[in-house]
Amino acid sequence: MDYRTLRNESLLAVAGILRGSNENLPIPMNQDHPELQKAVAAISRGAFQQSFEIVSRLAHQGVAMAQHFLGWHYHKGIGIDQNDRQAVFWWQKAAVQGIAEAQQGLGWAYANGRGVDEDPAEAYRWYNRAAASGDEEARSGLSEAARKLSPEQLRLLEQEEQVPGKR
């Protein structure tokens, strides 16, 4: 698959999430900032810079879904130079607010050493949180991360998830 096809598919997936086609989101999409729809429309028109500007403004205002979407802008180089460190920065902000797709993005980043040092245990933590929030894609990442860990590491990670306040 070439870069343009991959980028277009990624844009469509993000646009679908923002339009509310993913029913497993931890927050109802209709409660998100209405400006996000303008960012989706801008991507549909190929106005990537405009989408980036809208999402960046909202992300800096603390809108969790915009923070996740800004992470994707940086990760895919949509309207801005590609930068996985910035993607991780914004996914982290969205992930701690319960955005499952951002949690999955962090799992992927740690699993692949993109924007952060590769860390299978941290990948497992984030994939596990995303899967618990209903992100189906995170389940396969969770399995892959688990294969890179020893049984003792898995046992400790599972115990860690049982401690209140650790999620």
pLDDT 10s digits, 20-65:
443 333 333 334 678 898 998 999 899 999 999 999 999 999 999 9
From 71, 98, 125, the end of a domain falls on 98
Which of 110, 41, 108, 35 is closest to 65 using CA atoms? 35
The number of distinct structural domains making up the chain is: 2
Q: Alpha-carbon distance 113 to 120, whole Å?
A: 9
Using CA atoms, how far apart are residues 78 and 7, in angstroms rounded to an integer? 8
* pTM across the whole model: 0.78
- 83 with 110, same domain: the answer is no
The two tokens of residue 48 are 């990537």
Same domain, 4 and 82: yes
Q: Which domain, by its residues, includes 151?
A: 100-167
Domain boundary among 46, 72, 98: 98
What is the Cα–Cα distance from 68 to 27, expressed in whole angstroms? 13
Pair 132, 162: CB distance under 8 Å = no
- Given a cut of 90, is residue 82 above it in pLDDT? yes
pLDDT of residue 162: 75
| pLDDT over threshold 70, residue 74 | yes
* Residue 165, φ and ψ in degrees, nearest 5: 85, -5
4 and 34 co-located in one domain: yes
| Tokens coding 44 | 């549909």
In angstroms, the first-to-last Cα distance of the chain is 36
Please tell me whether residues 8 and 59 are part of one structural domain: yes
